[in-house]
Each structure stands twice: as C-alpha cells, then as structure tokens.
C-alpha cells in the first residue's frame, strides 16, 4: 500500500515529503527549504531511472534532484506526519513547477 508522509529536519530547516511503496522504497520525493518553504527538489524514481538509462541523469538531478536510496524502514525519521494523496499531490505539483522554472547553472561541457 502506498504511503505519503512528511518530516521536518530542523538542522536543515527543510520539510521532506515522501511517497513510499509497499516495500518502503521512495517513489517520489520533494523538499521545501526555509521559512518560505522554497522547493529545492521534486524527484520521481521512475523518471530518475529513465534518465539514468538515457545517460541524462546529471541533467535530471540538476532540475529535480533525486529520491532516497535506501528504504524508509532503515531511517531515523524525525516525527513523520502522514498525508493524504491529495495533500501530497497539491504540494508535489507546486514543487515540480518551481523546479522546472528555476534558473540553473549553464553547462560548459562541449564548449
């Protein structure tokens, strides 16, 4: 059963939002940082894997970041707060849009 939750890491002043599959693997993850909750990542495991196979992973991660690489049952997650899919999806769409339009450093590869 898919689960959605969020957790706040105070030392980074960051909210981490997670969509987790039956086995505890993160399938989607986004991060909101600071008092204004600025989106800094919004990654999908399916997209990340596709970018890895297409050899465009660096570009994908520069835009969207990455998902966690270990199952959630191996974490020491501070005070996880369950979410509904609707709550997750609303903020996911906002975070994705922000990641897609934010300025990125230009690559100098091939120049």
Give tens-digit pLDDT for 64-92. Answer: 999 888 888 888 777 899 999 999 999 99
Q: Supply the range of the domain harboring residue 50.
A: 3-101
Domain assignment of residue 109, yes or no: no
In a domain, 14, yes or no: yes
Q: What confidence tens digit (pLDDT) does each residue in 13-56 have?
A: 999 999 999 999 999 999 999 999 999 999 999 999 999 999 99
Determine, yes or no, domain membership for 62.
yes
| 7 contacts: CB under 8 Å, gap ≥ 6 | 15, 16, 18, 77, 78, 79, 80, 81
In a domain, 111, yes or no: no
Number of domains within the chain: 1
Q: Say if pTM beats, i.e. exceeds, 0.95.
A: no
Q: Confidence class of residue 103 from pLDDT cuts 50, 70 and 90?
A: low
With 60 as the cut, is the pLDDT of residue 111 above it? no
* Axis-axis angle for helices 45-53, 57-64 (nearest 10): 150
**Residue 32 lies inside a defined structural domain of this protein:** yes
Contact 32, 38 (CB under 8 A): yes
């Amino acid at each position: 059963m898919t689960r959605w939750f969020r957790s706040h890491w105070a030392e980074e002043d960051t909210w981490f939002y997670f969509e987790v599959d039956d086995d505890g693997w993160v399938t989607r993850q986004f991060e909101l940082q600071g008092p204004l909750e600025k989106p800094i990542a919004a990654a999908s495991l399916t997209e990340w894997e596709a970018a890895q196979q297409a050899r465009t992973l660096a570009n994908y991660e520069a835009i969207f970041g990455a998902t966690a690489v270990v199952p959630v049952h191996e974490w020491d997650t501070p005070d996880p707060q369950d979410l509904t899919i609707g709550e997750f999806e609303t903020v996911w769409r906002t975070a994705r849009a922000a990641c897609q339009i934010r300025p990125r450093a230009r690559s100098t590869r091939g120049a």
